[in-house]
Structure 1
């Protein structure tokens, strides 16, 4: 299932005396070394099979190369210095990268450059905050069925050549190695190119009715349109949607072959049955956004651009080409804040007339109100025939062809593709799992996995952990409603926990997600730095008006003075009424000013500033546009004083608009 070319699993990096990094393979066996010249960044291929440089310093032991990132003053070689085993999939070890090292290629790096320090901190924070998985011998980026379909085409290729481009998270960082290999086939660096998956991988050894099995849950996050909750919504002009994840549930059943001997408690010759079921999730595939303004619910806007239909069709046609017929399950609310998104989705879908696509709307919050989560079965009853027809992947190691293949997938989305989507996907996966285990004879025709508490404990934990990790990557906190996923029922404690997570989401999404989004854009190559003082200074320059920048200091100083008046000893008997009145007036004024101009205080991304979204005035739908000052207008300055005239790629306001009032919202045509 992986390419024939092996990967180096352990490397020693020596710092040469002539300003080079010498990368010496150690495991599985010593092999040719390569050198990277720190001044030029050029890669040198050593012809000797075993090259050991003479250096006084102890080599740095690494377990893989993430790639090379270029900042404003230097390039950096990013390597994995620590790893943790997750488990095995059919004998292939899966690891999580836990520690990283950034090795500067230019020895004369301007370490006092503030922009360089900022960008370097972004890259380090991104790697520290994510879950990065890899295997030296198994292609984690592709589902089982995709590996089987391409088995002949993959023969003789390296792991990076067969990896799914969407889930090869560090492909941009490996551009230098890939380009060198492509330009110099006789100097193949494939053994140094390690594909990294940003996602989840949970491997649990469990059993049902004394049948040992391995339960595996893998989620693969797309590197396209990647980012945080409010700064990456909807679709782009290439058909990529935000927060796209492919989730694969795998069950591996081991059975002894004929006269299979044992070595200790391990089978030497074993037959494996592998069952796989794949689902996808992704943002509503239209141009839409929620503009942060310090309110709990940001301003919603839907942008009707000329290429909306083209982007929408591109997305669905790609899904059909990759996965087969699509069954789209939409969980967005049919009233209130979310209604315009539902309407826009359904309108474009109806006009698109894309073949092999079915649509099913399920009013999750209404159907499952009062904690009636069992009513998700209503949705399953509606799409049951499609689930049966789409099937699942089933292969035996002793067979040359799979017994079954999956010919379609369910694409689920809610507003964030997190909480409601997690609950529905885990329920669908369990329904399919019951069919799979009945088909292989582990469960009786009318038996379900719910009757086996030991297995269900592992199943619920795996799906709940999977939900938390996807949510943390996108929203900054764990998922909501995981008490149902973990225990099978909704609890009051779970409601309190959801309240806490909702508050934390608000704080992180408004005040901390800007740098997180910058980290995504930097690592995936969505933004690339250009060297030069004018360009680099713009990254950190804050040209908001002095009054805007000073107001938080006024707020905190007023709080300090009020606390001082309450705690410090009095020096006279004079009343403190006027003292407190003064500082309370300043406090209230500062708070009011900040919320009236809330959009100015959001932690916006600095690298790819969403000016075109913030100041969008074209056709579509817009909310109340709060937090933009007492007189909200497109001509007012946005965050960091960036005017809407600098926005690119979006139509300017039409000369004449007709506004139709819709409660607190209005549609612009």
Structure 2
């Protein structure tokens, strides 16, 4: 692997240029000419202009360059936190960022146009809320088996070239550097791949043997977004909320005092990978302010092709597919389950096996031990797929993982987390027995200290994925942490569910816009006037006024109940007036609920909301008395006009 610069100093030459100077000797500095936007590598030992002044902060990497409506901006890492060491390689989390405008006439802190202010706020919010991980000398985007299989051909390749494109989160932002490198200039030391996901590693002890237990989740940049605004599949076969989860077990050498190898003294390295992803259909849930959104399943002609593309890609990457579906077979979720099974049967792909598990029915009344029923059904698949096992002889692995379990529920969060943790525990038991650390009848749960590490690492992982997609920590995480489902945990789940409802309806639109902007799903035009729809409220006055009327009516009712009365005159008509106004306002808001949801503005889901083709729609709530609210129609027209400009 080629080296990456780990620390950069910034010199600013007035309004003319930025000069990035890496630590070390005989390195090439990088200059960004602000008036032209040109980026060049300087000659070795090129002097820094005497007029340039050094910025006070050190930078730990360049995330990339993003183009907004008035300027390009260079995003740099200004803070990092060591998350742990894997094979003697440091793994960091980016904790703070800075955004440097290339255009000298634009300030990143006080942009001259409200559209630019809005877009910069989306970028900052995305950077602040994400969990971004990187390493300067270890490829965080690829699982252990893939790195071992391609180790020889990748020996001299740069990170950006070997990184798994799905998990190279800042790939779009690094486009200019990569294109210039392919054209002849070698920007490789400045191209730092960043992963959106989780990483945790814990040293532990079992039967006198020193072990390290590591868990890594990698989130795909394709069809990335939030819970209700990214569901299902796209035309290219990418599904929402796709995550690869790798559990790594490292057995340390029992002989202390030996000199450490570059990858640490481990007599065994074992890796087990699982994946999760949205049900690979064209489907969505349309927010209407009700707790249960309207379910929309779209039977499109492209469904078979898209599903085939998705599954074929997974087979090429991971091998055999064992599809575990946890969607309910009754009630609100049933149409998704039925459509999934119908298309799977229609495809009948070799190397794909489908397994349904009625999670809520099997585990009702807190019988969470019943998950063992699913594991028993999956036992043959798990044994056949195996896991990656590299011993002392690193030229040939003892085992390779030849297949994978793909798990989904509706959100691919809570039920999926519980099932993936249970399957991971079953595999960990098998690995420890093969290493001779556990006997044939013993298991992880028999050793509280080790079991606690396992449970906590998986529960933290579940919370991180749930926060990124759903807006709160994972539900049912008390079972993952303690091996028991408790009433306290159920109460905490209620609080998390309310948090999700509020965020999903009133905050996730902006979060989705941040995903689309940073991953390149939407590109800004270099004319702010073309994007005024981003900051305009196109709803009619009556629609905008109803929350104010409801709030003021509630205030007046409260005032009438609590403030001292100046006379004994009956307040019946007073309360009647304000209760009627409150009822009218609340009814209007519920009837036109779609107008009060914070929808994404960059890529609005108008095709889903207005879908009239074959499929299933649970209801048409929130669209007004005639099925289309005035505010929604005006927003639809403004969105369409914004796309055409």
Superposition TM-score tier, normalisation by shorter sequence: over 0.9
Instruction: Please state whether the residue corresponding to 1:638 is helix, strand or coil.
Output: helix
Which residue is equivalent to 1:655? Answer: none
Q: Where in structure 2 are the equivalents of 1:503-582 lying within 5 Å?
A: 503-582=498-577
Distance 2:278 2:7 in 1: 39
Instruction: Please state whether the residue corresponding to 2:253 is helix, strand or coil.
Output: strand
> Are the counterparts in 2 of residues 599 and 639 from structure 1 also a CA contact under 8 Å?
no
What per-residue deviation string (whole Å, max 9, x for no partner) do you get for residues 122-158 of structure 1?
1000110010000000000000001111112212110
Which residue is equivalent to 2:41? Answer: 45
> Are the counterparts in 2 of residues 130 and 198 from structure 1 also a CA contact under 8 Å?
yes
Instruction: Please state whether the residue corresponding to 1:380 is helix, strand or coil.
Output: helix
**Residue of 308, 313, 316 corresponding to 1:318:** 313
1:148 aligns with 2:143: no
> Are the counterparts in 2 of residues 256 and 267 from structure 1 also a CA contact under 8 Å?
no
Distance 2:642 2:148 in 1: 43
Using the TM superposition, give the Cα deviation of residue 642 of structure 1 relative to its aligned residue in structure 2, in angstroms.
1.2
> Are the counterparts in 1 of residues 9 and 54 from structure 2 also a CA contact under 8 Å?
no
**Residue of 88, 92, 111 corresponding to 1:91:** 88
Q: Where in structure 2 are the equivalents of 1:482-497 lying within 5 Å?
A: 482-497=477-492
**Residue of 622, 632, 636 corresponding to 1:642:** 636
1:450 aligns with 2:445: yes
Deviates more, 1:305-314 or 1:29-38: 29-38
Distance 2:347 2:580 in 1: 56
Using the TM superposition, give the Cα deviation of residue 271 of structure 1 relative to its aligned residue in structure 2, in angstroms.
3.8
What per-residue deviation string (whole Å, max 9, x for no partner) do you get for residues 456-500 of structure 1?
111000000000000000000000000000000001100000000
Q: Residues 102 and 267 of structure 1: is their aligned pair in 2 closer, same or farther, counting only changes over 3 Å?
A: closer
TM-score scaled to structure 1, two decimals?
0.93
1:36 aligns with 2:32: yes
Q: Where in structure 2 are the equivalents of 1:111-510 lying within 5 Å?
A: 111-183=111-183, 185=184, 187-256=185-254, 261=258, 270-510=265-505
Using the TM superposition, give the Cα deviation of residue 353 of structure 1 relative to its aligned residue in structure 2, in angstroms.
1.6
User: What is the count of residue pairs matched by the alignment?
Assistant: 639
> Are the counterparts in 1 of residues 115 and 528 from structure 2 also a CA contact under 8 Å?
no
**Residue of 69, 74, 77 corresponding to 2:74:** 77
What per-residue deviation string (whole Å, max 9, x for no partner) do you get for residues 256-298 of structure 1?
56x95369xx999834411000000000000000000000000
Q: Residues 125 and 30 of structure 1: is their aligned pair in 2 closer, same or farther, counting only changes over 3 Å?
A: farther
Distance 1:572 1:384 in 2: 78
> Are the counterparts in 1 of residues 533 and 638 from structure 2 also a CA contact under 8 Å?
no
Deviates more, 1:392-401 or 1:231-240: 392-401
> Are the counterparts in 2 of residues 292 and 599 from structure 1 also a CA contact under 8 Å?
yes
1:13 aligns with 2:10: yes
What per-residue deviation string (whole Å, max 9, x for no partner) do you get for residues 559-594 of structure 1?
222223233333433222211111111111101110
Using the TM superposition, give the Cα deviation of residue 367 of structure 1 relative to its aligned residue in structure 2, in angstroms.
0.4
> Are the counterparts in 2 of residues 82 and 100 from structure 1 also a CA contact under 8 Å?
yes
> Are the counterparts in 2 of residues 600 and 639 from structure 1 also a CA contact under 8 Å?
no
TM-score scaled to structure 2, two decimals?
0.96
**Residue of 100, 103, 107 corresponding to 1:103:** 100
What per-residue deviation string (whole Å, max 9, x for no partner) do you get for residues 367-386 of structure 1?
01111111111111111111
Distance 2:182 2:622 in 1: 51
Q: Residues 639 and 451 of structure 1: is their aligned pair in 2 closer, same or farther, counting only changes over 3 Å?
A: farther
Deviates more, 1:397-406 or 1:450-459: 397-406
Q: Residues 60 and 437 of structure 1: is their aligned pair in 2 closer, same or farther, counting only changes over 3 Å?
A: same
Q: Residues 18 and 542 of structure 1: is their aligned pair in 2 closer, same or farther, counting only changes over 3 Å?
A: closer
Which residue is equivalent to 1:660? Answer: none
Q: Residues 32 and 645 of structure 1: is their aligned pair in 2 closer, same or farther, counting only changes over 3 Å?
A: closer
Using the TM superposition, give the Cα deviation of residue 399 of structure 1 relative to its aligned residue in structure 2, in angstroms.
2.8
Mind listing any 5+ residue stretches in structure 2 that lack a counterpart?
A: none
Q: Residues 18 and 529 of structure 1: is their aligned pair in 2 closer, same or farther, counting only changes over 3 Å?
A: closer
Q: Residues 128 and 567 of structure 1: is their aligned pair in 2 closer, same or farther, counting only changes over 3 Å?
A: same
Using the TM superposition, give the Cα deviation of residue 641 of structure 1 relative to its aligned residue in structure 2, in angstroms.
2.9
Instruction: Please state whether the residue corresponding to 1:411 is helix, strand or coil.
Output: strand
Q: Residues 292 and 271 of structure 1: is their aligned pair in 2 closer, same or farther, counting only changes over 3 Å?
A: closer
Distance 2:531 2:642 in 1: 20
Mind listing any 5+ residue stretches in structure 1 that lack a counterpart?
A: 650-669
Q: Residues 433 and 579 of structure 1: is their aligned pair in 2 closer, same or farther, counting only changes over 3 Å?
A: same
Distance 2:301 2:393 in 1: 53
Q: Where in structure 2 are the equivalents of 1:573-652 lying within 5 Å?
A: 573-632=568-627, 638=632, 641-643=635-637, 646=640
